[in-house]
Structure 1
Amino acid sequence: MPYVNIRVTGTLSREQKTQIAAEVTDTLQRIAHKPASYTYITFDEVSE
């Protein structure tokens, strides 16, 4: 099961997080052959 933690400075909108998560999930599916249903992605928004 892939576990991806993305840390960004500042904030992201819900739409941005959704799009980023979809792209990362797709990349893991295509390249590493990991099922999307097993991919877990979290976002940490940190101050600058």
Structure 2
Amino acid sequence: MNRERAKKVLKLLDSINKEIELLGGAIHKMQLSPVALDRQGRSKNKFN
């Protein structure tokens, strides 16, 4: 694999990694919100 291609692949992986982190953060916030807990049928007191 040539150098330019390797750089492109690394750049792509880096951006994918950032997207995953953003998505993970969003999911984490959703799980912490009472509305999301209600939708999943869990009691709000489970985490307190």
- Name whichever structure is richer in strand by fraction: 1
Query: What is the TM-score normalised by the length of structure 1?
Result: 0.42
Q: TM-score, normalised by structure 2?
A: 0.42
Higher relative contact order (CA 8 A, sep 6+): 1
Rg (Cα) greater in structure: 2
